[in-house]
């Protein structure tokens, strides 16, 4: 994932402009509509956004989910049909938004970031935009696969409280999935960090550095994208929002707790990753010291000896009595060995005493 | 202890779902019930949670302590019996919660983290969950050994104020034990850090690095797990909680002071540990400099000398008068020694002046 | 761009003094006046500031834009004509101001920083000063080219809401351009950082260091200059400003969101840039280790061997039986090779086992 | 001073328990009582705490100072006599408290940390506990020598305002001494840091590292122990405490200013100490570079030359015309010197150009 | 400038004591009195503080400026004459105060820090103390030269608003000079940092390190001394001070903006200076790598070759057919050269491929 993921119109474009972006998601756009009461449940695939109108009059909860990269036309039609604010619509199409919760007159607009790993194990952040109105929830997911299938399932099977409660509880259920996605993700990352740590202390290699850097990068991106959700969830779980029933707040507060716990985890991973780089650098220094000690011991023992044997390799022959008389001495050669061995031994002992090996 | 210790249900599970986790604690689940008034005291082992019902009607304080890894069925029965909130029950079974204090209508739910060292000296965080209701306290400890025995003892022996006061004071007594556990733990860690510091300046080895890293890791985990307790204790010691008697607040404030002091200690240990890594790296650099100076002194003195003796080992014999006439000079050999000694002496003196040894 | 870009009068100068600065911008000063209602639109180039007076009485919105380095006389005349506060005028001419929004009686004075890259790809910060009064907006841009042409265009073409709304909406439109300028700029910088990262891990060179430093410097300057805009936009989007219509606040809040998102991006880029320096240093250490291992392996294998061959190059001839009898042995020479090969092999094996290559 | 200095009861001990600690202070416990009005002054050594009772009824100010390590019995008697809160008494005996100010009904309890250097120049923190009641002040100092002698002196000599004012002013006078003790201490540390800085840039040695680490450690401990005094003094100088006369607040505010100034100084010393370690590491790197350049210059000049002279030391005699004909050339030897000198000169020039010396 | 610059009385001295400090400023003490109305202006040198009394009764603005190191007697007389608070007087004489603004009944007492470079280009902080009372301003400057001459000049020449306004505007004018002194100072430091940066990347030497450290030290001291002025100016520009006319607040707010901008600049300089040390360390590592590569290339190419020529320098003569038969081969010598050249070439190629030069 690259550092800059925001989509934007050229500066100076009129606010609320909806223009096409280069397609990113291969799967076709799919609009599904779920309509339910405690007693009934129906599911529909919508071809044309205006078809949604027929479910609005009824006294049931309607959930419209738009999966994939939405095009300006569809968005504009939905906007007209449900009276959505143009700035909010712009935020749906210009993905890469900072998560936020905005209250318009009789609507609540929430954008969230859903972190996922793609098939190559790379981090991706997918935007989810949610409109809550009276009895209606509209959700947009800029990604390839439907993230809310467990909720669809609970609605179908009538398991848990979800069919008995309003659209606000449905909003909570979706937010809960988005946020809890962080737990399995951070579990994976925690294991990666622990693996890296072991590798670091046992046998660090060149790739270790690249992997530590990659982890720091992912944690940084994750933090930047999830941090504002703290504010969003705090806002949703505190204030007296007109559209949220009081019995839903404990659930939203639970969600808020999870958001904070995830951010706590990210922070402590980040610190550990930073510390790992220090440990790596220090362990490299330690290794360098070891390498240099080996070289120094070998070199300082043999260089003087090589000099000595070089001396007696000189050709000061001639017949001067001063010309290397040692070469003529009877025990010259074994004496030289004795001298050389004692030099080597002395140096060896000196290094030993300094604790070099 | 690994970085990620939170237990969670798959994202999208209905809130309040209680499902079994893989067992972690070997000891069997044990439920004990203590019932006391200033005059009386009785202790019971409970087989079946519903047996607790008989003590509820009485005008005494009842403390139910659940020791070990609680199973969903037991929890559900206790939940029904005492009317506990489903989200709170979920937090009891999904251990690894962020410490928090939640007020439900006529209940106070508190989760805390109890830090311990296991038999291998490894840091572990065990969750304690506490429900305070009128005249009743229910405590869950996800760990192997009962942490509240000193309080049981004080109740038995009728020592101190504890039998005269309500369930809120009992809550305080348990919180006090949980938090004060930090003092002996930090005393141990403080001594470890001081040992490491001495080792660091005297004789740092490869294992020093691993140990510094281990200390930083433990301090990081400890901080992440204890930090939110500050908020919890601040909340409990400030607001006018319906279930807490005004005379208990000074005790809770004392507890809050201890929480802060423990966090202060952790912070200063963390700084010291970070500083130790810097000191280690610097001392490695210092040592490398020493090693390199030895090598350089030996090499720069002997390499030129070896070259010189190499020159006179050449075989430019022939009968040209230009072919190494020095070899024929009468005092050639001793003169060469003089030259070599003065080169070595000069280099030695130059190194001495630069303060290299 | 240098670190210090503030223009100031010598300390002790009377406040509100307008004095000439050395010219920085080559293009001539240009004053343009736009006058519009929903129905009409006219555009004028103004020679003399007093000519603006005629448009003030009318019931239309008047936008006066002063492009280039304003001189004290022009500024003084405009100040008198529109009753602008002397301290605000001083801030217009003393560019390099910290962005701020000041409310005077019936005026709102805003200074902003517009970041641009100049033709050499160097970062520049240009000051924009804006006066909002009833039906009038005056803008000063201390830079070479008109930054608000897209808005002029929207006014001309009557596209979007802009002609229907008041001067406050025009103020918003200009602020929006200034702030959104950050997006393409940060997109470029994000790509630069990603390039640097790749270079860093693949093949870091001397210039990499200078480029990382340059990026950090630019991000630091950008942050210092854009950070206060957060406060400005927060102020403008929150309080009940007399001159701003309530329907404009959602747009200003959108603008505020963009400001925060840009600052978030700058912060995460800054962290990544800091981390890159660590990675660079660590990768240099890694390389040094590799280099030293090569040297050490070669040196420790050949230095002892060179010593041995040196020994048998000595001239202990004479006729003493102690004088290097090895030289006379029948298999002396091949035996020596055997010994040397086994020494070399042993060392090679020892290095291999230690994982040196 | 070690990192962990808090004395505590085993977790689970009943709150308010007063138990003996191992003695730390050699000097005997000494209780002195001072009783004064603007007109009179008397000084008494108290043997038995209950003897204090007789001075309580009178309309004078009574100051009881307990010097040394207080034992549980004495403390309990004083507690009963003056009605002190059991939690406060526990804090007096369990020294190493976090500084705090607690208001009980008609008492104010303050604990402070008094920093001193002991005879070996080591930092020590001594706890001072103060009880202010109506007309009475009780002070405990867990240390060897009376820190408040200047105040005793001012009371004796009737100098300054002190005899005219109440017990609250006396409290201020004691707090003022405790806090101002920081100034001479920080003056000493500032000089130490400046000495270290000079040493660092001129001639850093192995001991420099240990001393920098020691300074960082002391500053860290000092900060941890003095930081909470900011809160304490802020609390005392702001709120409308019943026991403090309004005319004393300006003095307490002055005291608060000193606390902040001392913390500012500690912070800037800490930063400087951290920066010194960076400078040290960098200067070590610089030195290593110098050392390596010397080695490299010598080695790269002489190693090739040694190879060349080695070539002509070979014994390819025989009578092949290909066997080292150079040795037979007339000018072979001087030509070789020429070649070697030009190689050495060329290398020397190349190093010079690269700026290596 | 040293780290500790606060002058203090020994701890325990009675508050408000005024005692002599060792003289620091060579110039004699000079008291000047300026008395002005919009119509009149007179200037007087005062010998004896009591002479000031005569101007107090008049309905004009009186400004008394005390230049140099004030002695306790003069201060005491001025204190009595104008009824100044003893704690404030102590702060005037004990220079090195933390900047602050204190309100006493009918007085406002402000201390500020004036940063200057002395003749050696060293940073100095000089304290300015200001008393504002009704129609009177008393200023003390603990320094050698009068810093407020531009204001004296404006008063003399009747330029600007200053003669029309009250003593509060005069206070503003002095504060404005003190704060704006930071701009030329930071401009100089900004240029120094840019010079250092260039030096750092082009040709860093030993002195670079000392200079970076010096800059960090100066910025640290500057920040510590100027930071509290933010609070002072915020306080003065916000609250409803009795002695400050409402029309002066916009000017004080402008002053506050300058304070913040100066602190912003200091912060970004500090970050850049910290980053420079990192860059320096990294560039040293880079250079070390280069040096080591040169050494390693030369050594690994020639050490094996030297071994080879050493082999054929051995004296295994004798008449064994195993004794170095190579020496007798017809093409032995040129073959050896071929072998050696191919070894050297192979190594050279291997280094080239690894990108070592």
For the stretch A195-247, pLDDT in tens is 999 888 877 777 888 899 999 999 999 999 999 999 999 999 986 888 999 88
Residue D340's domain comprises 292-353
Between CA B348 and CA C4 the distance in angstroms is: 51
CB-CB under 8 Å, D355 with E224: no
Contact state of B310 with D313 under an 8 Å Cβ cutoff = yes
Q: Among residues 248-277 of chain B, which lie with CB inside 8 Å of chain A?
A: 274, 277
DSSP string, C145-210: S-TTHHHHHHHHHT-TTTTTS-HHHHHHHHHHHHHHTHHHHHHHHHHHHHHHHHHHHH---HHHHH
How far apart are alpha carbons B222 and B190 in whole angstroms? Answer: 14
- Domain's final residue, options A282, A309, A344: A282
Alpha helices in D23-116 (DSSP H): 53-56, 72-82, 86-93
Query: Residue B155 class from Cβ within 10 Å (0-12 exposed, 13-18 middle, 19+ buried)?
Result: buried
Rg (C-alpha) for chain D, rounded Å, is 36
Average pLDDT over chain D, rounded to whole? 88
Task: Compute how many other C-beta atoms are within 10 angstroms of the C-beta atom of residue C121.
Answer: 8
CATH number for the domain spanning B308: value is 1.20.58.340
**Rounded CA separation B341/C285 (Å):** 38
Examine the domain organization and report whether B203 and B344 are in the same domain. Answer: no
Mean pLDDT for all residues in chain E: 88
Q: pLDDT tens digits for chain C (357 residues)?
A: 788 888 888 888 888 888 888 887 777 889 999 999 998 999 999 988 888 888 877 789 999 999 999 989 999 999 999 889 888 999 999 988 899 998 887 899 999 999 998 888 889 999 999 999 989 999 999 988 899 999 999 999 887 788 989 999 999 999 999 999 999 999 999 999 999 998 888 777 778 888 999 999 999 999 999 999 999 999 999 868 889 998 899 899 999 999 999 999 999 999 999 999 888 988 888 888 888 888 888 888 888 888 888 888 887 766 677 777 777 777 878 888 899 899 999 988 988 888 776
Number of domains in chain D: 2
Q: How many CB pairs under 8 A join C and E?
A: 189
E97 plus E55 within the same structural domain: yes
pLDDT value at position B354?
81
Contact B327 A317 (CB under 8 A): yes
Cβ–Cβ of A314/B294 closer than 8 Å? Answer: no
C14 assigned to some structural domain = no
A:55-94 residues touching chain B, CB 8 A cutoff: none
pLDDT digit string (tens) for chain D, length 357 residues: 788 888 888 888 888 888 888 887 777 889 999 999 998 999 999 988 888 888 877 789 999 999 999 989 999 999 999 889 888 999 999 988 899 998 887 899 999 999 998 888 889 999 999 999 989 999 999 988 899 999 999 999 887 788 989 999 999 999 999 999 999 999 999 999 999 998 888 777 778 889 999 999 999 999 999 999 999 999 999 868 889 998 899 899 999 999 999 999 999 999 999 999 888 988 888 888 888 888 888 888 888 888 888 888 887 766 677 777 777 777 878 888 889 899 999 988 988 888 776
Name chain A's partners: 3 or more CB pairs within 8 A.
Answer: B, C
Return the exposure string of D153-164: e unless at least 16 CB atoms fall within 10 Å of the residue's CB, then b. Answer: ebbeeeebebbe
Please identify among residues 129-168 of chain C the ones whose CB lies closer than 8 Å to any CB of chain A.
Answer: 148-151, 153-154, 159-162
Kindly state whether residues C329 and C219 are assigned to the same domain.
Answer: no
The interface pTM score, or ipTM, of the predicted complex is 0.86
Which residues on C lie below 8 Å from E261 (Cβ)? 6, 97-98
Which of D177, D285, D323 is the closest to E332 by Cβ? Answer: D323
Among C201, C299, C322, whose Cβ lies nearest the Cβ of A295?
C299
The answer to whether residue D4 is domain-embedded is no
- Best C262, C291, C296 residue to mutate vs chain A (most A CBs within 10 Å): C296
Residue C232 lies in a domain: yes
- The enclosing domain of D126 has a CATH number of 3.30.460.20
Contact E12 D177 (CB under 8 A): yes
C residues 39-58 lying closer than 8 A (beta carbon) to E:
none
Predicted TM-score (pTM) of this structure = 0.89
CB atoms within 10 A of CB B81: 16
The answer on D301 and D233 residing in a single domain is no
Backbone angles phi and psi of A279, in degrees to 5 = -65, -40
Residue B357 scores a pLDDT above 70: no
Give the model confidence (pLDDT) of D304-348 as tens digits. Answer: 888 888 888 887 766 677 777 777 777 878 888 889 899 999 988
> At CA D256, angle to CA D250 and CA D261, rounded to 5?
130
Higher pLDDT, C45 or A18: C45
Domain boundary among E260, E282, E304: E282
Are D213 and B194 inside 8 Å of each other by CB?
Answer: no
Q: What was the pLDDT predicted at A352?
A: 87
Give the residue from chain B lying closest to A315, CA to CA: B313
Q: Read off the pLDDT of residues B61-101 as tens digits, 9 standing for 90 and up.
A: 999 999 999 989 999 999 999 889 888 999 999 988 899 99
Put simply, the answer to whether B281 touches A283 (Cβ < 8 Å) is no
| Residue D195: its H or E element | helix D182-202
C281/B157 Cα distance (integer angstroms): 64
Residue D19 forms part of a structural domain? no
What's the gap in Å between the CA of B343 and the closest CA on chain D? 13
> What is residue D6's predicted lDDT score, i.e. its pLDDT?
83
Q: Are strands A136-141 and A61-67 parallel, antiparallel or unpaired?
A: parallel
Nearest to E317 among C284, C299, C327 (CB): C327
E156, E93: one domain:
yes
State whether residue A209 is helix, strand or coil. Answer: helix
- Residue E99 pLDDT > 70, yes or no? yes
* D136-141 and D123-133 beta bridge pairing: antiparallel
Which pLDDT value is given to residue D318?
62
User: Does B148 share its domain with B274?
Assistant: yes
Q: In this structure, are E101 and E122 located in the same domain?
A: yes
Residue D313 DSSP one-character state: T
- pLDDT band per the 50, 70, 90 thresholds, residue E25: confident
Which residues of D are less than 8 Å from B318 in CB distance?
A: 327-330, 332
Q: Are residues B333 and B232 in the same domain?
A: no
Best A1, A2, A4 residue to mutate vs chain C (most C CBs within 10 Å): A4
Match 């300058």 to its residue by tokens.
E258
Contact residues, B window 164-203, toward A, CB-based 8 Å cutoff: 203
The CA-atom distances, in angstroms, between B246 and each of B168, B232, B252, D165 are 10, 18, 10, 35
In chain D, which residue's Cα lies nearest the Cα of E334?
A: D322
Note whether A324 and A257 are same-domain residues. Answer: no
pLDDT at E357: 66
Q: Are residues B204 and B156 in the same domain?
A: yes
Verify whether the Cβ–Cβ distance B298 to A295 is below 8 Å: no
D298 touches chain E (CB under 8 A): no
From C22, C74, C24, select the one nearest C47 (Cα to Cα).
Answer: C74
Give the integer Cα–Cα distance in Å for D216 and B15: 50
Q: pLDDT (tens digit, 9 = 90+) per residue, B144-162? A: 889 999 999 999 988 778 8
- pLDDT band at residue E185 using 50, 70 and 90 as cut-offs: very high
Q: Which residue of B has its CA nearest to A297?
A: B295
Three-state secondary structure string covering chain B: CCCCCCCCCCCCCCCCCCCCCCCCCCCCCEEEEEEECCCCEEEEEECCHHHHHHHHCCCCEEEEEEECCCCHHHHHHHHHHHCCCHHHHHHHHCCCCCCEEEEECCEEEEEEEEEEECCCCCEEEEEEEEEEECCEEEEEECCCCCCCHHHHHHHHHCCCCCCCCCHHHHHHHHHHHHHHCHHHHHHHHHHHHHHHHHHHHHCCCHHHHHHHHHHHHHHHHHHHHHHHHHHHHHHHHHCCCCCCCHHHHHHHHHHHHHHHHHHHHHHHHHHHHHHHHHHHHHHHHHHHHHHHHHHHHHHHHHHHHHHHHHHCCCCCCCCCCCCCHHHHCCCHHHHHHHHHHHHHHHHHHHHHHCCCC
User: Phi and psi at residue E106, in whole multiples of 5°?
Assistant: -120, 25
Task: Kindly tell me if the per-residue pLDDT of E351 is higher than 80.
Answer: yes
Task: Name residue, tokens 């909720």.
Answer: A151
Quick: pLDDT tens for D186-233. 999 999 999 999 888 877 777 888 999 999 999 999 999 999 999 999
Taking the CA of residue E86 and the nearest CA in chain D, the distance in Å comes to: 10
Per-residue model confidence (pLDDT) at position B106: 85
Q: Do B101 and A260 meet the contact criterion of CB atoms below 8 Å apart?
A: no
pLDDT reported for residue D333: 82
> Do residues A70 and A166 share a domain?
yes
Cβ contacts below 8 Å, chain A against chain B, sum to 190
Question: In whole angstroms, how far apart are CA D227 and each of A311, C80, C312, D218, D275?
Answer: 70, 54, 74, 14, 22
d(CA E36, CA E34): 7
Structure tokens belonging to residue B141: 């400890």
Q: Are E86 and E19 in contact (CB under 8 A)?
A: no
Q: Is D318 on the interface with B (CB under 8 A)?
A: no
Q: From the list D3, D12, D291, which residue is nearest B190 (CB)?
A: D3
What subunits touch chain E, counting only 3 or more CB pairs under 8 A?
C, D
Last residue of a domain, one of A282, A314, A345: A282
To the nearest whole Å, the CA of D115 is away from the closest chain E CA by 13
Q: How many CB pairs under 8 A join A and C?
A: 190
Question: In chain B, pLDDT over 90 holds for what percent of residues?
Answer: 46
Q: Which residues in chain D touch residue B148, judged by CB atoms under 8 angstroms apart?
A: 12
Chains in contact with chain C (at least 3 beta-carbon pairs closer than 8 A):
A, E
Interface test with chain A among B1, B2, B4, B85, by most A beta carbons within 10 Å: B4
* Residue D93 · residue D75 · CB < 8 Å: yes
Distance of CA E204 to the CA centre of its chain: 22
Coil vs helix vs strand at C140: strand
pLDDT exceeds cutoff 70 at E89: yes
CA distances from D308 to A196, D315, E303, E332 (A): 50, 14, 12, 17
Residue D9 counted as domain residue: no
Residue C335 sits in the same domain as residue C249: no
CB D115 within 8 A of CB D225: yes
Which structure tokens are listed for C272? 């990544």
Q: Which of A176, A207, A190, A331 is nearest to A273 (CA)?
A: A190
Q: Is the pLDDT of residue B318 over 70?
A: no
Q: Which residue of D has its CA nearest to E302?
A: D304
Q: How far is Cα C131 from Cα C138, in angstroms, rounded to an integer? A: 5
Q: What is the DSSP letter of E32?
A: E
pLDDT, residue A48, reads 87
Predicted pLDDT of residue E318: 62
Task: Point out the residue among D14, D203, D280 whose CB comes nearest to the CB of B154.
Answer: D14
Question: Residue A318's pLDDT band (boundaries 50, 70, 90)?
Answer: low
Mean pLDDT of E197-203: 84
Q: Is E217 on the interface with C (CB under 8 A)?
A: no
Rounded to the nearest angstrom, the minimum Cα separation between E294 and chain C is 10
Residue B121, phi-psi category: left (phi > 0), alpha (psi -120 to 50), beta (remainder): left
Chains linked to B by 3 or more Cβ pairs within 8 Å:
A, D
Q: Is C13 contained in some domain?
A: no
DSSP-derived letter for residue D84 is -
- Give dist(CA D290, CA B302) in Å, integer: 19
Contact E87 D251 (CB under 8 A): yes
Instruction: Show the tokens assigned to B122.
Output: 């490894």
Question: In whole angstroms, how far apart are CA E322 and each of B41, C227, C311, C328, D314?
Answer: 103, 84, 19, 11, 17
In a domain, D12, yes or no: no
**Digit-coded pLDDT (tens) for E223-255:** 999 999 999 999 999 868 889 998 899 899 999
């Amino acid at each position: 994932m690259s550092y800059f993921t925001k989509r934007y119109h050229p500066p100076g474009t009129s606010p609320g402009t909806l223009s096409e972006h280069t397609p990113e998601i291969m799967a076709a756009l799919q609009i599904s509509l779920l309509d339910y009461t405690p007693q009934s449940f129906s599911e529909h695939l919508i071809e044309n956004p205006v078809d949604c109108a027929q479910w609005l009059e009824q006294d049931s909860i309607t959930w419209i989910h738009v999966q994939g990269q939405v095009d300006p036309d569809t968005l504009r039609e939905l906007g007209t049909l449900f009276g959505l604010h143009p700035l909010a619509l712009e935020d749906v199409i210009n993905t890469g938004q900072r998560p936020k919760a905005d209250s318009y007159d009789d609507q609540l607009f929430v954008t969230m970031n859903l972190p996922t790993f793609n098939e190559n194990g790379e981090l991706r952040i997918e935007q989810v935009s949610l409109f809550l109105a009276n009895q209606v929830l509209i959700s947009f997911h800029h990604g390839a696969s439907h993230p809310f299938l467990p909720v669809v399932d609970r609605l179908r099977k009538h398991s848990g409280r979800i069919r008995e409660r309003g659209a606000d509880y449905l909003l909570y259920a979706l937010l809960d999935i988005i946020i809890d996605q962080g737990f399995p993700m951070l579990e994976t990352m925690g294991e990666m960090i622990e693996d890296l740590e072991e590798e670091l202390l046992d046998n660090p290699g060149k790739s270790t550095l690249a992997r530590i850097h990659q982890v720091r990068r992912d944690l940084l991106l994750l933090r930047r994208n999830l941090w504002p959700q703290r504010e969003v969830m705090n806002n949703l779980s505190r204030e007296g929002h007109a559209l949220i029933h009081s019995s839903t707040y404990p659930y939203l507060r639970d969600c808020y707790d999870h958001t904070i716990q995830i951010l706590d985890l990210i922070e402590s991973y980040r610190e550990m990753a930073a510390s790992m780089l220090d440990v790596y650098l220090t362990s490299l220094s330690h290794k360098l010291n070891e390498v240099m000690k080996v070289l120094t011991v070998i070199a300082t023992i043999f260089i003087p000896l090589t000099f000595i044997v070089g001396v007696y390799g000189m050709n000061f022959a001639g017949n001067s009595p001063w010309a290397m008389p040692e070469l003529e001495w009877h025990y010259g050669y074994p004496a030289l060995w004795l001298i050389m061995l004692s030099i080597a031994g002395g140096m060896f002992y000196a290094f030993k005493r300094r604790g070099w090996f």
